[in-house]
Each structure stands twice: as structure tokens, then as C-alpha cells.
Chains A and B, each alone.
Chain A
Amino acid sequence: MQATIALAGNPNSGKTTLFNALTGARQHVGNYPGVTVERKEGLCSVGAHTAHIVDLPGTYSLTAYSEEEKVAREYLAQERPDVVIDTLDASNLERHLYLVVQLLEMGLPLVLALNMVDVAKSRGMEVDAEKLSELLRTPVVPTIARTGKGKQDLIQIAADLAQQPVNQTPLVISYGADIDKALLQMQSMISEGAFLKSYYNPRWVAIKYLEMDEDVIVKGHEANPDLSDRLTAVSARVAAHLEATLNMDPETMIADHRWGFIRSIIQQGVITRSNDSDRLYLSDKIDMVLTNRFAGPIIMLAILYGLYQIVFTYSAAPVEWVEGLFSWLSDTVSAILPPGMLQSLVVSGIIDGVGGVMGFVPLIMFMFLGIAIMEDTGYLARVAYMLDRVFKAFGLHGSSVMAYVVSGGIAGGCAVPGVMAARTLRSPKERLATLLTAPFMNCGAKLPVFALLIAAFFPANEALMMFGITLLAWMGALVAAKILRMTIIRGESTPFVMELPPYRMPTFRGLATHTWERTWQYIKKAGTVILGISILLWVIMTFPGLPENKAAEFEAMRGQVSAAYPEAAALELENAGEGAELSEQAQALSGALAAVDSQEAQAALRNSVAGRIGGALESVTQWAGFDWRTNIALVGGFAAKEVVVSALSTAYSLGETDPEEYQTLSQTLAKDSSWSPAVALALIVFTMFYAPCFVTVVCIAREAGSWKWAAFSVIFNTTAAFILAVGVYQMATLLGY
């Protein structure tokens, strides 16, 4: 038989480390259906058997308050694992026992992993595992997850317990005379009615009714409305009585008694301290510097900036390798397949589209490594702590800063890892607001667009303009977050009741797993959808192509051009290999032919679906000063913002242009009569705020848990960007720019 063992525990209890130690490489990660909470499972050998281990999300309690707690409780109650292992931090035992008490009250077969006994010892604390086991009537195994010490004993005891028939008597705590009396009454009502029997034990259900637990009450009402109403009535009577006599609600009373129970256990000699508990630990001393009023913010800025530099500097080379690999692939395929539709589809549609996504992989790996280091050392919690006041003003959370910085808060980031970095936020509303606004930041792909326009129209103030653009992005993102939080993601801010975990040295293994898990999810999930969208974009920019008579016209033009030159030049051009030296005449001919080619490309683009859309949009976008060519560039920019520049150069018939080499295009735009500084400003604003690129959109859908939010971000951002662009254009035109 295969036993299922669930791994529960507080955040920062070493639960994940233990999970990794137990399962080794045999694990897989996904999300729980419908929610963004990670679901990790793995296998572990116990003697000749294999145990199936499920890592539950870290929770302080099982009150079904946060998404994590709901998932953990639902799993424990409905899937009924054979055994639950709860990981405790021995150096912080009292708080960790709260979850233990709740698990015991549910009547689950439990084994306690008394983890980090080494840390406790270094703090002068000795925990008596036997005594604890005796008092709680449940096995306790001392472990050190980082070194794997005790894991064999732990899994053996858990497996033995799994063999025994499930007949655990739930822990019974006294909650004071009033509540105890009501509980007995409710218990008998529940037992008689066999109410919610398949899930929970009667006393536990009764406690949940007294705690006014929404989840359980809703379930109970579905199962038996009449009995559920009677239970609610009993609970309301107790509540009224407690309110009148003690000015307290049952939920508070129950929690206070649970803590009383825990304290009584601790005081029965479970912990012996060899020094004063008020002394400063090393962690506190580090905090005195790192969260100091004056030094703290400076060090934080330095660390964030440094991290950013390292990530984007060191990922540059591997990004180039991956891009090199894909350009090699597209060259190879171009050589194999004959020129035509199929070649264009495979090369421009599939390889370039997927390559564009895969090119991000090294960047994302580095970013996640950086975040994992900050998270695992405990520094990220300090960043949230220091910045919370500022972000709270805009309806966000201190932890939002990471997502913003990565997305391009320091110009040049990337919204894809930025949106994924919003995972570190536990509060759902702030997290949603963060991932919807992070794409407003100036990612690396928007920079060539800005550089192009600044070089063309504001060459005198380049640095100032770039600085202004960065400020504007921050302002835009924060204001948009505020608006969202006041309208569709309205609601109280999530309490900032948060633990500052002690500083810890991260383990190599922990960092590697964290980084790899997230990167792999990106590759796997984003990869499939993106392939589809990039094919779609290729289709709308290719079809229906030029009508035959038009194509023939261009063919004829090529013939005329060739005829104007001596035959020798045409022959030379035809036979010349790549990179061969050409004579002056052949060079001129080649240039003339290229000009015809790009005119044809321009005409084809004008006639494509994208071109027609661009033309049709003119009636609207003229208010922002954009003509059909800019519109196509912006439609293409939905694929990736770099495309804005390359599509503009196609539309202005410059042939193939490297997005980095915008000099010629910039001169062309500066001279073109349909352009002005007002148009440039409007386009800068529009590019900054309109729909995120589709890789980001896919990530938003994944992270927010629904395509609805992805669609919202496309529509909301584009509308906001359009309004701003029109405002800027009209204003600048009035001022005479």
C-alpha cells in the first residue's frame, strides 16, 4: 500500500527544506485548481514502501482566512491523508503549537517534527521532546531539516502510524463553562443528525459554528438547512450571553483558551532556558543596522539596485546565447525550407515567437535566484516592513516594491518576471493590484522606443527626458493602483500582521529548487499559449498579402531597375556569396532592388489585416496624432514592445532594421511632416501605459488565476493610455509643439 503523508507547518518552520530532504528529486509542482497557491507533491521511500508526500502551504492557523489556510484545511478535511507531519520551529515553539492544537482538535493522526533543534540550542533553549509528546499524546521527533538529521526516524514513525487504523480521539480543550455547555449541546445535535459526518468530527463542527466560520456554515447550510439554522441559533445565544457578561465574542474566547492550553504545556517543563530570554539574538543585532531609520533605507536602495544590476548584467550573456541559438535555428530552417509562406510561418511565426519567449528564460532564472536569496535570508520581509507606509498610501503592500523594481522600476527591467515576483505578496487584493500595475514600468523593450523618439525630437535633453519617463511610470503605476483599489479591487487593506523571520543562511539546494520550479513553470505554461498567439500575430501581419496585379507591378519594377544597370552587375549580384566584395555598380543595383523590396513590404503590410486595422483605427487615433503606420507598430507592439520600432521602420520602408539601430529611422521621423514633438510625446505616453506584451498578459492570467484579469489589463491599460496620449497630444499641440 502507499501511504499519503501531508506536510503541514507555519511559514519559516523549515517545512520546505524538510520536504526537499524527504523527497529528493522526485517531486512535482503545480497550482491547486482555481487558486494560485502552489501544490507540491513527491515520493519518499520508507523501507520497501513508497510514501506519497503532499506539501501543504505554510499557515499559522487553520481558520480558513487566507487562500493558503483554506487550501490546507480543505485538503486535510476532505482528502484525509493517512498521517499529517507538522513541522515546528523548536526555537519558537509556543507560536507553532497553535497549529498543532488545531490539527489535534480536528482529530488527525499527527506526528510532530521538532525542527531546528540546533538553532534552539544555540539560543540557549532545550526542548524536552519526550515531555512534549507525553503532554500532547502524539509522537514528537527532533530533526534538523537542513542536514537531514532525524528524517529517517520521522518518516518511519509516520509510516507506522499510517498502518494503524484511523481512530484518533480528537483533543478536547475546555473553553470555559458557557462555551463548553453549548458545545455539548451542539455536539449531540450534530451526532444525531449525522451532520457533515463525512468530513469532520462533531465537536470540531460545533467549534466552527461558534467561531462563525463562513466556509463550514455555508457547507452545513447546503447539507441540512434546518439543523444548520438551529446550530446557528445556539451559537448566537452563546455569543449574546458572552457579549453581555464578558464583552467578548466566542471566537476570541476560544482562541484565548487555546493559547492558555499551550502556555500550560510550555510551563510544565517542556522548555528549559539557560539564559535570559530578553537577550538580543544575532538576528536582532543585524536588524538594528538593516532596519535602522537612517541607514536602513540607504542600504535597502543599495541592495535593490545591486541585485538589479547583477541580474541584468549577468543574464546578458546567457540571453545572447539563447537568442543566438534561435537565430541559428531560424537561419538553418530558412536554408532548408524553400522561400514562401511555409518558411515565413515557421521562421517568423513560430521560431521567432517562441524564441522571443525563451530568450527571457535566463533572465527569469537570475531574477528568481535573486528573489529566492532575498526571501530565504529573510531580507524581503524587512523590505516590506520598511516600505509598507509608502505603498499602503496607494492601496498596495510593502512587498509590492519587488514586483515594481523588477518590472522596470529601474528602467530596463522586464514585466514578465516582475508579474511573477508578485507571488511574494500574500494578500490577494494588494497582489492583484500589484500585478495589474507592474507592467506600467519601463521594461527593456520600451526603451528603444523611447530612445528613438527622444533622439528624433528632444536630442538636447536626453538624460532629463529618460529620468522624467521613469518618474512618470512610477506615478502612473501608483496612481493606477490607487484607482483600482478604490474601484474594482476595493476593500480594506490586508492587515500587516507579519512575522520578521530571523536571518538565515540560505541553502544551495533551497535556492536551486525555488529558482528552477518557478522558471520551469514559466517555460511550460507560457510556452504553449504563446506559440498560438505568435502564430496569430504572424497571420494578421501577413495576410491577405498583395493582390496579384500589385505583386506583378513590383516584379515589373524590379525588372526595370535591373535593366537600367549593365548586365554584368546583375550577374555579379546573382552569383555573389554572402559577404563578398561587390563592384560599385552591383552595390548600387543591390540598393535599388532593396528599395523596391521594402516598398513592396510596406504595401503588403498596408494591405494586411494588421494594416487594415491600423487604417481603420486612424479615425480614433488621430486624436492622439497617430497615423496608420504608428497604429500597425502599436498593434505589433502587443507581441513585444521591440516590434514597435521594427514595424515603424518597415512602415517607413527602411527594410530590415535592428531595433538597436534607430539612427536612420530617427532622422526619417524627424523630417516627416506627419510627426512633431507633440506626436512623439503622445506616443511615449501611449507606449508606456498601453496593453502589456502578450507574454506578460499570459503571466497575468496565470498569476491572477483567471483570463478575465488578463483581458481586463489589456482593455484597461489601453484605454488609460489612449486617454493620456490624447490629453498630452492636444495639450502639446495647443502649446505649439
Chain B
Amino acid sequence: MRTICLRKMEQKQGGTIKAVKASGELGRRIRDMGLVPGTRIKIQGRAPLYDPVALRVGDFTLTLRNNEADYIDVNVD
């Protein structure tokens, strides 16, 4: 199992969140949406200019910008 940054994940790639390094406002927002260690995610797609990125988290789709994805490490499948 490899750990990489969320930004580097490829289309349709899945994995489990290992760590969320953001604190403050951004960290709170990310955690409020359920992006915490142990959560399964899958890259659903990227916007036409490759940023933001859309993720499937549980039963819904979440978007975040690449510079926000930098704070999230994922154990990819």
C-alpha cells in the first residue's frame, strides 16, 4: 500500500484517508464534511482546468481545490 498526496491521485483511483494535516478554518471544513482518517474516497473527476477535484466520499460528492488537497494524505489501493 502506498501513501500519496490527494493531489497526485489519478482519475477513478480510490483509497483510504491516512492523515489530514490542515488546521484552523480549512481543517474544520474538511473534517465537518467527513474527511477524517479511515474514510474511503474515490476520485470522481476534475474540473475542465484540472482544479478543483471532485471526490466520492461515502454517499455524496465533494469538491476541493488542489491546494486544499495538498493537506490530505491517502493510502491508495
Contacts and interface: CB of A to CB of B under 8 A. Distances in A.
Given A92-B59, A296-B48, A385-B52, A496 B64 contact: yes
Majority SS at the chain A contact face? helix
Contacts of B57: 95
A501 B62 CA distance: 9
Given A94-B34, A259-B36, A495 B29 contact: yes
Most chain B beta-carbon neighbours within 10 Å: one of A91, A255, A277, A386: A255
Given A385-B47, A389-B49, A500-B54, A277 B59 contact: yes
A98 interface: yes
B28 to A, nearest CB: 5
A495 B60 contact: no
B60 to A, nearest CB: 5
Nearest to B50: A389
B74 to A, nearest CB: 16
Interface stretch (A60-68, A162-170, A672-680, A684-692): A60-68
B31 interface: yes
B31 A255 contact: yes
Interface string A77-94: 000000000000001111
A293 B49 CA distance: 8
Majority SS at the chain B contact face? mixed
B64 A497 contact: yes
Given A94-B34, A94-B58, A94-B59, A291 B29 contact: no
B28 A251 contact: yes
B48 A60 contact: no
Interface in B2-22: 20
B32 A98 contact: yes
Nearest to A390: B49
Contacts of A94: 34, 58-59
Interface string A26-44: 0000000000000000000
Contact of B32 (A61, A291, A502): A61
A259 B27 CA distance: 14
A498 to B, nearest CB: 5
Interface in A277-309: 277-278, 283-284, 287-288, 291, 293-294, 296-297
Contacts of B32: 60-61, 63, 65, 98, 255
A389 B63 contact: no
A296 B47 CA distance: 9
A612 interface: no
A375 interface: no
A91 B42 CA distance: 18
Interface in B29-50: 29-34, 36-39, 42, 44-50
Contacts of A498: 62-64
B interface residue count range (under 10 / 10 to 19 / 20 to 34 / 35 or more): 35 or more
B76 to A, nearest CB: 15
A496 B63 contact: yes
Contacts of A572: none
Contacts of B62: 497-500
A116 to B, nearest CB: 11
Contacts of B34: 94-95, 98, 259
Contacts of B29: 65, 495, 497
Contacts of A392: 65
A251 B28 CA distance: 8
A496 B47 CA distance: 13
A534 B14 CA distance: 61
A597 interface: no
B50 to A, nearest CB: 8
A252 interface: yes
Contact of B65 (A61, A65, A496): A496
A259 B30 CA distance: 12
A497 B35 CA distance: 10
B51 to A, nearest CB: 5
B47 A291 contact: yes
Most chain A beta-carbon neighbours within 10 Å: one of B34, B49, B58, B59: B59
A255 B68 CA distance: 18
A125 B60 CA distance: 14
A495 B47 contact: no
Nearest to A255: B31
A663 to B, nearest CB: 45
A323 interface: no
Contact of B61 (A388, A389, A492, A500): A500
A389 B59 CA distance: 26
Nearest to A93: B59
Nearest to B37: A256
Contacts of A288: 45
Nearest to A66: B29
Nearest to B25: A65
B63 A500 contact: yes
A92 B68 contact: no
B65 A291 contact: no
Contact of A497 (B33, B46, B51): B33
A300 to B, nearest CB: 9
Interface of A: 60-61, 63, 65, 91-95, 98, 123, 125, 249, 251-252, 255-256, 259-260, 263, 277-278, 283-284, 287-288, 291, 293-294, 296-297, 385-386, 388-390, 392, 492, 495-502
17 contacts: A94-B58, A95-B34, A252-B31, A256-B37, A259-B31, A278-B42, A287-B44, A291-B45, A389-B50, A389-B52, A392-B65, A492-B25, A496-B64, A496-B65, A498-B62, A500-B62, A500-B63
Given A61-B32, A259-B39, A496-B52, 14 more contacts: A60-B33, A63-B32, A94-B58, A251-B28, A252-B20, A252-B27, A259-B31, A259-B36, A291-B47, A388-B52, A495-B26, A495-B65, A497-B26, A498-B63
| A-B pairs, 5 with minimum CB distance | A61-B32, A389-B49, A255-B31, A500-B61, A92-B59
